[in-house]
Structures are given as structure tokens and as C-alpha cells.
Amino acid sequence: MDFRHHISSLQALAGTPCDALVLIVTGAAADASLDAPLASALTDALAEGDLTLKAGKTLYLHRPAGVKAPRVVFAATGPDTLKAFRAAVVAGINAVKGSGARHVVVALAGAGRLTDAHAEAVVTAARECTYLYRHTKPSAAAASKLDTVTLVCAKADAKAVQLGLARGHAVAAGVALARESANRPANHCTPTYLAEQAKKLGKEFGLKVEVLDRKDCEKLGMGSFLAVAQGSTEPLRFIVARYDGAAKSQAPVVLVGKGITFDTGGISLKPSAEMDEMKYDMGGAASVLGTLRAVAELKPKLNLVCIIPSCENMPAGNAVKPGDVVTSMSGQTIEILNTDAEGRLILCDALTYAERFKPSVVVDVATLTGACVVALGHHHSGLFTADDKVAEQMLAASRAGLDPCWRMPLDEEYDEGLKSNFADMGNIGGRAGGAITAAMFLRRFTGKYPWAHLDVAGTAWKSGAAKGATGRPVALLTHFVLAQAA
């Protein structure tokens, strides 16, 4: 899909040639800025009650008089916020994406100015609502015909809009990559497949990609990661991909993504209901790859290292058992009390491995705990960090990328549940505050650099009728990484 900007006054919209016109309506006086045919249609629709200025409301007009575009959609934002603007673009494009329309023109009716954030939102919104999973369902309804989106802006805003379109393109491509790999079932999306995806990115963008196998991990002493992988016949992969955009001497940002391509729970087997959803347990890894793609496309002046420990968590005769004690790469021993708390076991060795890059900051991303879903639901990802500066940067990135996260506590008291009589720590605490205990476990491996953890168990995918991966938190991570260059 192509995204462009077009410098024009709103007074010329009725004469603009395109297949569909999506007009985002923010305020009551929006009609005053439009040219006569569109203004009268809008005034009339508002007066008759066919359209109200509430969030999510749209009105579709087919071949309205005096307008060149055969399709016009008015999409109301409700509140005048970036989030509401993006939601209105989604609603507007959803109204025309199934029609024959190829070229859609989007404009903001009213006096409001367009920023880079608006332009980014138009791109990510359009890509989000036209994404279609087809890999194992080629019979899926034909993809949308939409191939070009033009954003109308004033001359004074054109520079910002262009910047935003480019950033949106990169973020949207990263989100699409993350969604596609997470949606693929575990017999397609294996650790080997993830490694191939990383190598493909490496070729396309000139990145250094290294893939370690079991023997390599044994040499490194990754006893914890190896313990999770040992019950599966699917070979593990430990993926390290680097984007070098600055001098070697500059400390890199490191992203670590949980890459469990299927989580049965292992010997601590999960119930069978909805176990299929555990194919998304590599959502963290997918979002790290998506972010790498976005960053590689935008080429900021910084260094980025992406680390993905990837394997399956399976029950088997040779699988790790509750009570087994393993030695992590850090030298600390772990009593594996529950084999279903496997995410932290693969991440801890990756976090130790990250030390060799002397990072400026490390962020790990994982579908780590059901407890995080209970705590925050499906809207905010859980943010855990002891570093107030990193917390503020993450929260700012989540606002800028419209990809919300919420800071959770990391007080010392939460560490107590991890005590073990047989090892330096157990891998689980009690049920209460489970997302925090998991973060406290990871924290024990992150003493050498500033660190943040994102629990995306509730946000990386959706259940129910719209079941599928969301591509979160690619937008958050991309904004966070880009801000490290500024």
C-alpha cells in the first residue's frame, strides 16, 4: 500500500479525484472549513441526526451531489485526541475497504492542524484494518483493493506529515511482520522459522544475524534455556540480530523477546481449553523482529541488538520435571517448581547473554503471565522497571505510538516468594501478584545495565471472534528505540 500527502485546501475536496473520500470530523464547526457540496451534506446529516459527533460514528454517502469522489465517509472522532483521530480513521477506512475503492483520500475537516503523529496514525490505522491472514487459509475473503492512501494537508504541515508517513510506514510494516509470524501456527512458526525470518531481515536491510543452536548454548552454559527446550524434538534457536547505525563505541539498545513457539506448560501441563492460543507465546519475539524491521527501515543513528531465545515447551519422557534444579548462564541455580513458568527460564539466560554488549538499556518483551492479563486486561501492557528515567521514556513512547503500557511495582517484598531450599531461587512464587513475581525473577539477572520488562500476555493477541495477533508492542518499542537516538 502506498501512502502520500497532498497539499491542498479543504475548499478543493469536492473536486479531488479519488475512489473514496474519508473526512475525519472533530468539532461542531467542521463543516465551515469544507467546500459547499461537502459542507451542506455534513450540516444536513448533523441536523437530521443521521450523523452525531460521537466517537466511532460514521456516515457513508454514495455519489453525493457535486462531489467528484463516488464514495464519501464522514467519521466522527468524539474527543479531539490523537487516539480518537486514529480510531476514526479505522472506522472510516473500514467503511470503504470492502468496496471497489483503490485510492482513498483522507482529510481532517475543521480548523485542526495535522502533525507527524496524525500522519503516522493514518498509515498504521490503514494497514491495521486491511491486514488479512492468508498463509494457511488462502481461501480467505479477497484482500482489500485499497492500494493508495493520500492524506490532505496544509502547506505549513507538509514537512511534519511527510516525516510521520515515513515513520508510520516503518511501524506498520513491523506490526504486520509481528502479526503474521504470531498468527502462523506452531507447526509452521517454529524456532527455525523465526531464525529464518531474522536472516531474511538481515539480507534485506544489511543486518548482522547470528543463530546459535543447542551445542552453542551448551558451551555458553545456558542451563535454564536448555532445560525448557529439552522436551521438544523441534530444535531450539538462539537468535542475535544487530542493526549498526552508530559508531561501534556507542553502547547499544538491547531488545530481548520471548520466543516460545508453543507453550503446552510442559509436565505442568496446561488445561486443553484454548491451549491453541499458546502458539502466540512467541509474540514478544515477533514484536522484537518487527521493531528491528521498523528501525532498520528508518535508519536512526544508534546501535540495536535483538536477542531471541526460541524453543517449544513440551511434555516428554526427557522433559524437565518439577523440582529439577538447573544452573543458569549467570551461575545462579534455579529450582523449576512449575515447568509452565518457562518464559522467565529462557529469558534469564538471554538477559545474561546481553551483558556482553554493554548495553545502554535492555528491554525484554514477553507474553509472560496470565496474572498480568488479570491485573491489566487487554488494553495496557505491564511495564516493570526500577529505573524512573527508563519508565518515563517507555511511557512517553507508549503515548506517542498509541500503544499503552502501565507501570507496575517492583518492591523488594515481592522477591520473597522466589526463595527455595534447594537452589538460589525457585521459578514461581504464590498466586498473588504473579506478574510482579515473574518480573522480580528476571530482575535477578539484570544487575549490570538499566532494564525494563514488558509483559504483553494481554496485549499481543486477541481472543474471541477477532482471534489473532495484534502486532503490539511494535509501535511502543519503535518509538522508544528512536527516542534513544535523539
Residue 359 or 433: the one with the smaller Cβ distance to ligand BES is 433
- The amino acid at residue 374 is V
Residue the block writes with cell 502462523: 184
CA distances from 453 to 300, 394, 396 (A): 23, 10, 15
Q: Within positions 414 to 473, which residues make up the interface with ligand BES, using CB under 6 A?
A: 428, 434, 457
Q: What angle do CA 380, 478, 209 make, to 5 degrees?
A: 120
Residue 289 or 457: the one with the smaller Cβ distance to ligand BES is 457
Q: Which three cell numbers stand for residue 173?
A: 510494516
Among 263, 335, 349, 455, binds Zn ion (CB under 5 A): 263
| Binding status of residue 281 toward Zn ion by CB under 5 A | yes
Name the residue among 443, 384, 427, 438 with its Cα closest to residue 224.
427
Residue 104 or 373: the one with the smaller Cβ distance to ligand BES is 373
Name the residue among 430, 390, 431, 385 with its Cα closest to residue 408.
385
Smallest gap from Cβ 367 to ligand BES, in A, equals 4
Cα 327 from Cα 333, distance rounded (Å): 4
Residue 304 or 435: the one with the smaller Cβ distance to ligand BES is 435
Smallest gap from Cβ 195 to ligand BES, in A, equals 21
Q: Is the dihedral of CA 455, 460, 462, 467 positive or negative?
A: negative
The residues annotated as belonging to the active site are: 270, 344
70 interface partner picked from Mn ion, Zn ion, ligand BES, none, CB below 5 to 8 A per type: none
Name the residue among 405, 402, 303 with its Cα closest to residue 361.
303
Q: Within positions 317 to 356, which residues make up the interface with Zn ion, using CB under 5 A?
A: 343
| Binding status of residue 367 toward ligand BES by CB under 6 A | yes
Name the residue among 300, 485, 473 with its Cα closest to residue 402.
473
Cβ density class 205-222: b for 16+ within 10 Å, e for less? eebebebbebeebeebbb
Among 312, 340, 349, 403, binds Mn ion (CB under 5 A): 340
| Binding status of residue 369 toward ligand BES by CB under 6 A | yes
Residue 144 or 224: the one with the smaller Cβ distance to ligand BES is 224
* Contacting residues for 379 by C-beta, under 8 A, at least 6 apart: 404, 458, 459
| Binding status of residue 371 toward ligand BES by CB under 6 A | yes
Name the segment binding ligand BES (CB under 6 A); options: 122-130, 248-256, 290-298, 362-370. 362-370
| Binding status of residue 340 toward ligand BES by CB under 6 A | yes
Beta bridge partners of 261: none
| Binding status of residue 263 toward Mn ion by CB under 5 A | yes
Q: What 3-state DSSP class applies to 329?
A: coil
Smallest gap from Cβ 396 to Mn ion, in A, equals 31
Residue 87 or 371: the one with the smaller Cβ distance to Mn ion is 371
The contact pattern for Zn ion, residues 285-324, with x = CB under 5 A and - = no contact, is ----------------------------------------
Q: Within positions 341 to 370, which residues make up the interface with Mn ion, using CB under 5 A?
A: 342
Residue 252 or 434: the one with the smaller Cβ distance to ligand BES is 434
Smallest gap from Cβ 351 to ligand BES, in A, equals 16
434 interface partner picked from Zn ion, ligand BES, Mn ion, none, CB below 5 to 8 A per type: ligand BES
CA distances from 250 to 54, 302, 361, 413 (A): 48, 7, 12, 36
Q: What 3-state DSSP class applies to 263?
A: strand
Smallest gap from Cβ 96 to ligand BES, in A, equals 34
Smallest gap from Cβ 315 to Zn ion, in A, equals 14
How is the chain split among helix, strand and coil, in percent rounded to 5? 40, 20, 35
Beta bridge partners of 312: 262
Smallest gap from Cβ 375 to Mn ion, in A, equals 17
* Contact by Cβ (8 Å): 440, 432: no
| Binding status of residue 364 toward ligand BES by CB under 6 A | no
Cα 365 from Cα 357, distance rounded (Å): 18
Query: What residues line the site for Mn ion (CB under 5 A)?
Result: 263, 340, 342
Query: What residues line the site for ligand BES (CB under 6 A)?
Result: 263, 281, 338, 340-343, 367-371, 373, 428, 434, 457
